Amino acid sequence: MTMGVSGEVLIGGKWVAGNGSPVAVENPATGEIVAELNAVSKEQLEVAVTAARAAFPAWAALPPVARAALLRRTGDLVMERAADMARTMTIEQGKPLNEAHGEIEKLAQTFWFYAEEAVRVHGEIIPNDSIEFQSLVVREPIGVVAAISPWNYPAELIGWKLAAGLAAGCTLVIKPPELTPFTGLAIGRCLTDAGLPDGVVNILAGKGRDIGQALIEHPQIDKIAFTGSNAVGIKIQQSLSSIKRLSLELGGNCPLVVTSSADLDAAVKGAARRSFRNMGQICIAINRIYVARDLYEPFLERLAAAADKLVIANGLDNPAADLGAMASADPLTKTKDHLADGLARGARLIAGGAAPEGDAFTRGHFFRPTVLADCTPDMKVMSEETFGPLVGVAPFDDLAEAVELANASLHGLAAYVYAKHMDEMRYLTARLDFGSVAVNNVDAGIINAPYGGRKQSGVGYEHGREGLLEYFNLKHVRIRYDHPEGIA
């Protein structure tokens, strides 16, 4: 099965084979090894970082309009190649082809968005206490960025870092996920074909504990942009041997609050979509649901029915399926562990709980959308990020209790609310301690608004103007002007 792109890595403007150990890529829908590429060696990583450092001065000095033009061309090429790139993603990640195509479209939109933002970076003029002085605040690109991204959205999550960093004038070394490297390499082909100067972007294949860790510790890396688990995010902070800027987008364990005034059908539809889309492998997936007691049983009945109706399939065989395979055995194992823990602690299984039946599901990493009712805070599904097709549900008696339950988490990435009454919306949105709160919808992130977490869900922002500004340093320039000669 062809991946649609070679396994060569991008170093200093050249596409070359890695000199390190082989990395096998599995199709998670079939369990088959479909491709292999070589990781980069330590020497190749050094060449890549050196190339990024050497390319930085010229790229940073390039007029923003020129950087914007390259981003725009890259977005155009992504759209032209969307069908092939989506197929590559489905093969190595498992999501249905139509959903993969949608992700590639969002990648193109990310390049276009930051092409527009690149020319809108402004400084400030700050008054002084004397007219002889003027203070200028200037934004300058940070330098060389290491971008480390996960496998659940292998195009978008690279794109957020890549497009914003390039727009700001930074150069980058990108480490795509080990499970889904070919999607990242396909993005690199779009960049080089769009005319990217040598060394501005370097894309390295390999294991996170080897390549990612080496980039984190490298003295010539000025910023780390990482999306992934809390455990790895904490390890990144602990392992820094020099001062670096950090952008960390970490775990979710996101809550949904359904109030007594909610549109029940809309709430169920939203819950099913955001709990199970991409097999629950989303940082902003709904992991736990709190429902007003008077709606609790009707909500459970309808959510169980909605979960059972979702179509699961090999994403290539059925491009329009609701769900594909999970990306690997690890998230499936964690999902089963959270399910077993909930059942052992008294939860009630009302949907799913096993792999789908049929020969098509015997070898891949499949699991039915699963709903646990009567959950308590001590259960893993309610206190940890599952990152799988499992959601826990519990009742609440008043809004104060709902807020307490929702906020009783180390995570603070996103929360969701379904309510019709404005007073309920205002009360909840003001008190939910999360970086994003979506009301009567489950799309907490859009490209032109800031996206980031609180508490243990990370530091810094992606998306929007704020995501671009993460890639700049501020410089204060204070100037004293002499009075012009010959003027009284």
- Banded pLDDT at 208 (limits 50, 70, 90): confident
The rounded mean pLDDT for the chain is: 97
Active site residue 190: no
State residue 226's pLDDT score. 97
2: pLDDT strictly greater than 90: no
pLDDT tens for each residue of 255-295 = 999 999 999 999 999 999 999 999 999 999 999 999 999 99
pLDDT tens for each residue of 45-98 = 999 999 999 999 999 999 999 999 999 999 999 999 999 999 999 999 999 999
Co-location of 297 and 156 in the same domain: no
Backbone angles phi and psi of 3, in degrees to 5: -90, -10
Co-location of 117 and 201 in the same domain: yes
∠ Cα 216 218 219 (to 5°): 125
Measured between alpha carbons, how far is 292 from 22 in angstroms, rounded to an integer? Answer: 53
414: CATH: 3.40.309.10
Task: Pick the catalytic residue from 103, 283, 384, 385.
Answer: 283
Stretch 107-131: mean pLDDT, rounded? 97
pLDDT tens for each residue of 405-455 = 999 999 999 999 999 999 999 999 999 999 999 999 999 999 999 999 999
Angular region, 440: left φ>0, alpha ψ -120 to 50, beta rest: left
334: pLDDT strictly greater than 70: yes
81: CATH: 3.40.605.10
Measured between alpha carbons, how far is 221 from 246 in angstroms, rounded to an integer? Answer: 11
Co-location of 468 and 351 in the same domain: no
pLDDT tens for each residue of 124-155 = 999 999 999 999 999 999 999 999 999 999 99
Question: CB 2: neighbour CB atoms within 10 A?
Answer: 10
The whole-angstrom distance between residue 153's C-alpha and the CA centroid of its chain comes to: 6
Measured between alpha carbons, how far is 259 from 292 in angstroms, rounded to an integer? Answer: 5
222: pLDDT strictly greater than 80: yes
Co-location of 279 and 188 in the same domain: no
Active site residue 105: no
Inter-residue contact 316 to 91 (CB < 8 Å)? yes
Co-location of 163 and 69 in the same domain: yes
Co-location of 287 and 216 in the same domain: no
For residue 255, what are its two tokens?
A: 């809550």
Stretch 304-330: mean pLDDT, rounded? 98
Stretch 196-223: mean pLDDT, rounded? 95
Inter-residue contact 367 to 392 (CB < 8 Å)? no
Task: Pick the catalytic residue from 8, 156, 249, 462.
Answer: 249
Buried residues in 25-42 as b, exposed as e (16+ CB within 10 A): bbbbbbeeebbebbbbbe
The rounded percent of the chain whose pLDDT value lies above 90 is 95
State residue 209's pLDDT score. 87
Inter-residue contact 44 to 58 (CB < 8 Å)? no
1: pLDDT strictly greater than 60: no
Co-location of 92 and 178 in the same domain: yes
486: pLDDT strictly greater than 90: no
Co-location of 231 and 244 in the same domain: yes
- Spatial neighbors of 38 by CB under 8 A, at least 6 apart, are 7, 17, 18, 19, 20, 21, 22, 23, 205
Residue that the structure tokens 């998306």 belong to: 463
pTM over 0.75: yes
Co-location of 245 and 260 in the same domain: no
* Structural domain range at position 149: 9-250+457-475
The total number of structural domains in the chain stands at 2
Co-location of 275 and 148 in the same domain: no
